[in-house]
A and B are shown apart, each in its own frame.
Chain A
Amino acid sequence: MRKWKMALAILVVAALVFTMVGCAKPAGKNWVVGFSQIGSESEWRTADTISVQNAFNEDPSFTLIYSDAQQKQENQIKAVRSFIARKVNVILFTALVETGYGPVLQEAKQAGIPVVMIDRDVQEADRGLRLTIMGSDFVKEGEKAAAWLGDYLKKIGKDDGKKAINIVELQGTTGSAPAIDRKTGFANGMKDHPNWKITRSQTGNFTTAEGKAVMEAFLKADKKIDVLYAHNDGMALGAIQAIKEAGLKPGKDIIVIGVDGVKGAFQAIVAGEQNVTVECSPLLGPQAVQAIRDLRDGKKLPGRIWTIESIFDASNAAAALPTRQY
């Protein structure tokens, strides 16, 4: 028994020493970066985490301390406090919810540690406490989808500006920012096309299963659907199966538009079943590393850093497919 206790004590001391070594701030240009992620609730989030981890691990002048909050705000606040105590150089932070981070951000500010938000922002009142936010512009994604549809309809000669174009919409989770903004963005794009009409709009909760079930009902209620606009690829892929079961050809009889750019969507585009996906990239790592490098070099960061994103249809999907990571 005694021996065990002794061994345990040695282990604890060793662990402490190692932690302290880890804590010591590297001299000169070496920076320690704390990253508080909200969890791994979707594969988008997983890809996001891996991208940030890989990008920082590739550069030896950075040390990344990663903390997974497992969908709990208190874990996140604890993590940020521990980053402050360890005197990291910069904190990367994805806010689980918008409110409640004021005090801890204030503490970071007092400690002189800049905070860079990733993907999800804090509420308006607290935005003065963080340095910048990097992420996707969901409204722009909706606008891009509408613009692509305009060009495509013109190209295939289906839209004469008068004949009604019937669009059905599969919304994301009701009340979530991407669902609200992608709907708004698409509606903005529709303003130039008075003959476009959203005939049905229902939530598919961003899931394949619900996307399919909703589309099944749409197909039975309306005989004439020209376009499907889904707020994410998962729902679009479910809807494609429903369209096939209805004896129609997805991509031809009904134009299918998705958002996100997941691998499954690329495969569907190559197979001719989906027409387009507007990328919403979780691969923020390289851009984050670049931003932190700029910060280290004393450059000023813009108040909002948009993710570099493109749009993929039959013309470029096949070429991009092998390089897709999520």
Chain B
Amino acid sequence: MAILKSLSRAKIFWPIVALAVLMCFNLFFTPNFFRVEIKEGHLYGNVIDIIKNASPIMLLAVGLTLVIATKGIDISVGSIVAISAGVVAMLIGGDLQGVPKYPIPYAMGAAVLVSVLAGMWNGMLVSRIGMQPIIATLILSVAGRGIAMVTTNAMIVWLYAKPFALLGQGYFLGLPFSIYIVAALVLLTALVTRRTALGLFIEAVGINPTAARFAGINAKNILFGVYAFSGLCAGISGLVVCSTVMSADGNNAGLGYELSAILAVVLGGTSLNGGKFYLLGSLVGALIVQTLTTTIYAFGVPPEIAKVVIAMVVLVVSLLQSFKFRAMVAGFFGKREFSV
């Protein structure tokens, strides 16, 4: 009991419980959900799909976690995904024989560079002009889709350059390649924020920017940095999205991803009020979001009610996370003593 109590105090506990509950539902009600086979030399199954398809959201969530920790928000990441996908697709080109117009690494580098610039634009508006984050990033959220459309001439660009498919469709040691990209990004981010004081600085800015400034933290540069980093994450996510379907669709690539990613961060335990952030929690949050989607497909929920089902599950998971709600439930059952 004592172990459970201390466990449930950990921020990551409740997101994992939510994920476990979803998985349990599938264990009992969705036949063959957990079956994993080996096909074409790699693992194949719903669970692998969840990891693979959650990667773009996970990448976005890493950047957004830091942004949200500063009490900010970035709703432009979905559009940056579309821009990044558009740039990389146009630079590789739609040659049917798969001959890239420019070398693939250059194309990828250019796409990520453009995305970082987009993030820096957000960062400038927020940190230097002092614009509200939601408005500042709304500008790019709207304009970004236009930029993506101009980049791709409002057409879907199909790619046939085989090596580029590795990013979103390839496998390494039996697992989807994209998950290694996520792992690398998270490891680097965790290292930089937790092994140095940077993480503390970010949290300080989120809790009280004025106090942080008086404590000698350059709040403006921290803010600028996290938005630029969010742009970088969105750019990498765009590459994976483009590679997964080997096409760039200015209208639909990354559409609504910003909401999924924000949901992932919040489900993972990082508060929209800023302050403490939980990178691993955000990853679990992204897995919850994707498991939900895959469950709906595998279980066969009719599309007319799928959105309602998603909303209900999100509500329950959010309530699970709420200390007040848990205390209320505990009080209802007459158990006064309840773990935080």
Interface residues of A (CB under 8 A from B): 40-43, 46, 171, 174-175, 200-203, 205-209, 212-214, 216-218, 220-221, 234, 237-238, 241, 245-247, 262-264, 267, 326
Contacting residues, chain A, for B255 (C-beta < 8 A): 207
Contacting residues, chain B, for A208 (C-beta < 8 A): 156, 245, 247, 249, 252
Please determine whether B297 and A217 come into contact, CB atoms closer than 8 angstroms.
Answer: yes
Please determine whether B46 and A40 come into contact, CB atoms closer than 8 angstroms.
Answer: no
- CA distance in complex: A206, B293 (Å): 16
Please determine whether A217 and B245 come into contact, CB atoms closer than 8 angstroms.
Answer: no
Please determine whether A41 and B297 come into contact, CB atoms closer than 8 angstroms.
Answer: no
Chain A min CB distance to B34 (Å): 10
Please determine whether B244 and A221 come into contact, CB atoms closer than 8 angstroms.
Answer: no
- Identify the interface centre among A171, A200, A220, A234: most chain B CB within 10 Å of its CB: A220
Q: Which of A46, A238, A246 contacts B154 (CB 8 A)?
A: A46
- Of chain A, the residue at the smallest CB distance from B149 is A40
Chain B min CB distance to A61 (Å): 29
Please determine whether B45 and A220 come into contact, CB atoms closer than 8 angstroms.
Answer: yes
When A174-B304, A208-B247 are in contact, do A247 and B39 touch as well, CB less than 8 Å?
Answer: yes
- CA distance in complex: A217, B293 (Å): 10
How many inter-chain residue pairs (CB < 8 Å) link A and B? Answer: 94
- CA distance in complex: A123, B143 (Å): 32
Chain A contact residues: helix, strand, loop or mixed: helix
When A208-B249, A221-B31 are in contact, do A214 and B96 touch as well, CB less than 8 Å?
Answer: no
Contacting residues, chain B, for A40 (C-beta < 8 A): 149, 154
Q: Is B241 an interface residue (CB 8 A)?
A: yes
- CA distance in complex: A196, B305 (Å): 25
- CA distance in complex: A262, B247 (Å): 13
- CA distance in complex: A270, B159 (Å): 16
Interface residues on B, range: 35 or more
When A40-B149, A217-B294 are in contact, do A267 and B169 touch as well, CB less than 8 Å?
Answer: no
- CA distance in complex: A46, B251 (Å): 12
When A209-B245, A220-B49 are in contact, do A41 and B303 touch as well, CB less than 8 Å?
Answer: no
Q: Is B121 an interface residue (CB 8 A)?
A: no
Contact with A along B149-161 (1 / 0, CB 8 A): 1000011101000
Chain A min CB distance to B40 (Å): 5
Contacting residues, chain B, for A247 (C-beta < 8 A): 39-40, 44
Contacting residues, chain A, for B169 (C-beta < 8 A): 241, 245
Please determine whether A207 and B249 come into contact, CB atoms closer than 8 angstroms.
Answer: yes
- CA distance in complex: A226, B252 (Å): 29
Q: Is B246 an interface residue (CB 8 A)?
A: yes
Contacting residues, chain A, for B247 (C-beta < 8 A): 208, 237, 264
- CA distance in complex: A202, B296 (Å): 9
Interface residues of B in 116-141 (CB under 8 A from A): none
- Of chain A, the residue at the smallest CB distance from B30 is A221
Q: Which of A174, A218, A263 contacts B297 (CB 8 A)?
A: A218
Q: Is B66 an interface residue (CB 8 A)?
A: no
- Of chain A, the residue at the smallest CB distance from B41 is A247
Please determine whether A202 and B156 come into contact, CB atoms closer than 8 angstroms.
Answer: no
Q: Which of B35, B44, B154, B244 contacts A209 (CB 8 A)?
A: B244
Contacting residues, chain B, for A201 (C-beta < 8 A): 302-303
Q: Which of A203, A220, A245 contacts B298 (CB 8 A)?
A: A220
Please determine whether A212 and B154 come into contact, CB atoms closer than 8 angstroms.
Answer: no
- Of chain A, the residue at the smallest CB distance from B47 is A220
- Of chain A, the residue at the smallest CB distance from B35 is A220
Q: Which of A171, A209, A245 contacts B303 (CB 8 A)?
A: A171
Chain B min CB distance to A98 (Å): 20
- Of chain B, the residue at the smallest CB distance from A40 is B154
Query: Can you pick out 12 interface pairs between chain A and chain B where the beta carbons lie within 8 Å of each other?
Result: A40-B149, A174-B303, A175-B304, A200-B300, A208-B245, A208-B249, A209-B253, A213-B297, A220-B298, A237-B158, A237-B247, A247-B40
Please determine whether B155 and A213 come into contact, CB atoms closer than 8 angstroms.
Answer: no
Contacting residues, chain A, for B298 (C-beta < 8 A): 217, 220-221
Contacting residues, chain B, for A238 (C-beta < 8 A): 245
- CA distance in complex: A55, B300 (Å): 45
Please determine whether A264 and B300 come into contact, CB atoms closer than 8 angstroms.
Answer: no
Please determine whether A207 and B300 come into contact, CB atoms closer than 8 angstroms.
Answer: no
Q: Is B306 an interface residue (CB 8 A)?
A: yes
Q: Which of A174, A175, A220, A245 contacts B46 (CB 8 A)?
A: A220
Q: Is B322 an interface residue (CB 8 A)?
A: no
Chain A min CB distance to B273 (Å): 33
Q: Which of A205, A209, A221, A326 contacts B32 (CB 8 A)?
A: A221
- Of chain B, the residue at the smallest CB distance from A46 is B154
Contacting residues, chain B, for A205 (C-beta < 8 A): 252
- CA distance in complex: A207, B253 (Å): 9
Contacting residues, chain B, for A234 (C-beta < 8 A): 156, 249
Please determine whether B251 and A203 come into contact, CB atoms closer than 8 angstroms.
Answer: no
Q: Is B53 an interface residue (CB 8 A)?
A: yes
Name 15 extra pairs, CB < 8 A, besides A208-B252, A216-B49.
A43-B155, A43-B251, A202-B296, A202-B297, A203-B303, A206-B252, A207-B255, A208-B156, A209-B249, A209-B252, A213-B49, A217-B294, A220-B35, A245-B40, A264-B158
When A208-B247, A241-B169, A247-B40 are in contact, do A217 and B46 touch as well, CB less than 8 Å?
Answer: yes
Contacting residues, chain A, for B244 (C-beta < 8 A): 209, 212
Please determine whether A264 and B156 come into contact, CB atoms closer than 8 angstroms.
Answer: yes
Please determine whether A246 and B39 come into contact, CB atoms closer than 8 angstroms.
Answer: yes
Please determine whether A202 and B252 come into contact, CB atoms closer than 8 angstroms.
Answer: no
Contacting residues, chain A, for B304 (C-beta < 8 A): 174-175
Chain B min CB distance to A228 (Å): 14
In the A-B complex, the 9 residue pairs with the closest CB atoms = A217-B297, A203-B303, A208-B245, A46-B154, A207-B252, A247-B39, A217-B298, A174-B303, A43-B155
